[in-house]
Amino acid sequence: MTFQDFNLRAELQKAIEQAGFKEPSPIQKEAIPLILAKKDVVGQAHTGTGKTAAFALPMLNMLKLNGEVEGLVIVPTRELATQVSDEIFRFGKYLKIKTAAVYGGSSYSRQLHHIENASIVVATPGRLLDLLKSGKIELNPDFVVLDEADEMLDMGFLDDIKAIFEYLPSNRQTMLFSATMPNAIKELANKILYTPEFISITKENVTNENIKQYYYVVDERERDDALIRLLDYKAPSKAIIFCRMKIEVDRLNEFLNAQGIKTKGLHGDIPQRERENIIKSFKRGDTQILIATDVAARGLDISDVTHVFNYHIPFDPESYVHRIGRTGRAGKEGTAISLVIPAEFKQLIKIQKSVKSSLINKEIPTISELKSKKQKSILDTILSTKVSTQAIELLELLESQTDLSTAALKLASMVIENDKIKGSEKIGKSKKEAELLMKKAQNEKKRPRDRGRRGRSQRRY
């Protein structure tokens, strides 16, 4: 199946092809025809499965383009509001539609101006309810989407969402998307949707087959050295490193920059304007490595992230799926790498069982292996480089002062000197050591704590 099978507007098809999308994802295959048939839809699918396109494409296809706000998308965070707004704008650019991202912490007057000129508004619940209650805006959308509904529930937005729907027309088409379906979300769906069609993309579909998943077993003290070695060896063109806490993001960002690895940190305590600039810099490619918490990276939709690193594996499988879903997007291949200490094996086993995919254990490359790879890379670069006039002139100057062999050695030494390898020869556990530790964790059973005490029937008199 291809996107052409949906018979979308030519302007949309052009934008889809330009974005490099080939085949629709499972959620897109299921949702797009139902939304085009003007059905209310409840979709259960995780981040990274293509949900935004699943509701944005059919919504854009049905717009009347009458100069009014026809679509409203409600999302949990500022970052997601910006990301979804940007993606909808990208799909609708040949329709010449405008979108408005509406969230707290930004100028009211500026956002009101954007809403006046928008066909689709993407908003966080707090700011949207504030604007509706104060009478600053009136919305009469044909399409309403609740995205990441369970995340909004976790953030305490449920009452705000219910209040928002009091201001919206009843003759609307409503779509709700959520990674999980707790009872509160089911009750909300029953209240705000009219005889909806239910779609569930199961966990078997969630882990993208384009993502290669690896884990490396290290001791706690080796995490930093292991990360540097892997960044050096993998040489990602664009990567996200996930940390559990803001303090870890700050420390790791400072540490890696001190090692000459240019990174930027992203978490909730960074001012909004600065966060937006960091995300834009990452999207443009000015920043190659982003260090982020789960919350800060939620909704990041950047199709060319080549690697995701879990500095610590997350506490739950849902977060793991969310994290690795940042790579391997739009049909491209991606790599997910997790650093794991033996004490975290139970979490790793839980993740593997839940996502129904096996993570392959690998060894951290040694200095010798890294040297060998770098030499090949340097050789390939030299052989593929075109000879310039300036290079010929420089070589002639070198020939007048030394022989060609010595000149070549000196130039090679310059290149190697600028690319020194740090750390120990060997970092982390071998595959055999990791396998034994994993078996021990798998076979470990809870033992009764008798501590010398005996049951009544076992007492000796």
Can you spell out the DSSP letters for 313-328? --SSHHHHHHHHTTSS
CA angle 208, 265, 275 (to 5 degrees): 90
Which residues make Cβ contacts (< 8 Å) with residue 303, sequence separation at least 6?
Answer: 19, 20, 329, 330, 332
Q: Give CA–CA dist 393/253, Å, rounded.
A: 42
The structural domains of the chain, with segments of one domain joined by +, span 3-204, 207-366+429-443
Which residue carries 């292996």 as its tokens? 369
User: Of 349, 310, 309, 305, nearest to 330 (Cα)?
Assistant: 305
Task: Give the strands of the sheet with 307-310, arranged side by side.
Answer: 263-266, 289-292, 239-242, 307-310, 334-340, 211-217, 360-361
Tokens of 271: 């001012």
pLDDT of residue 445: 47
pLDDT of residue 420: 66
Which residue carries 């890696």 as its tokens? 256
**Which neighbouring-strand residues pair with 144?**
72, 174
Task: Give the strands of the sheet with 173-178, arranged side by side.
Answer: 99-102, 120-123, 71-74, 143-146, 173-178, 41-44, 197-200
Q: Give CA–CA dist 323/312, Å, rounded.
A: 12
Q: Tally the C-alpha atoms within 13 A of residue 283's C-alpha that lie toward its C-beta.
A: 16
pLDDT of residue 140: 96
Task: Indicate the fold that domain 207-366+429-443 takes in CATH.
Answer: Rossmann fold (3.40.50)
Give the chain's residues under pLDDT 50. Answer: 204-206, 445-461
User: Of 47, 53, 48, nearest to 16 (Cα)?
Assistant: 53
Q: Give CA–CA dist 383/252, Å, rounded.
A: 36
CB–CB of 62/188 below 8 Å? Answer: no
Which residues make Cβ contacts (< 8 Å) with residue 97, sequence separation at least 6?
Answer: 60, 63, 65, 88, 89, 119, 120
pLDDT of residue 454: 42
CA angle 348, 349, 355 (to 5 degrees): 85
CA angle 279, 280, 284 (to 5 degrees): 120
CATH architecture of 3-204: 3-Layer(aba) Sandwich (3.40)
CA angle 106, 300, 129 (to 5 degrees): 40
Would the CATH topology of 3-204 be identical to that of 207-366+429-443? yes
Residue 156: Cβ-neighbour burial (10 angstroms; 0-12, 13-18, 19+) = exposed
Which residues make Cβ contacts (< 8 Å) with residue 177, sequence separation at least 6?
Answer: 42, 43, 44, 45, 51, 54, 55, 145, 146, 147, 148, 149
Confidence (pTM): 0.59
Q: What is the DSSP letter of 71?
A: E
CA distance readout (Å), 207 to 176, 295, 318, 337, 380: 22, 20, 11, 14, 34
pLDDT of residue 455: 43
CB–CB of 303/253 below 8 Å? Answer: no
φ, ψ for residue 49, nearest 5 deg: -100, 0
Tokens of 57: 């494409």
pLDDT of residue 337: 96
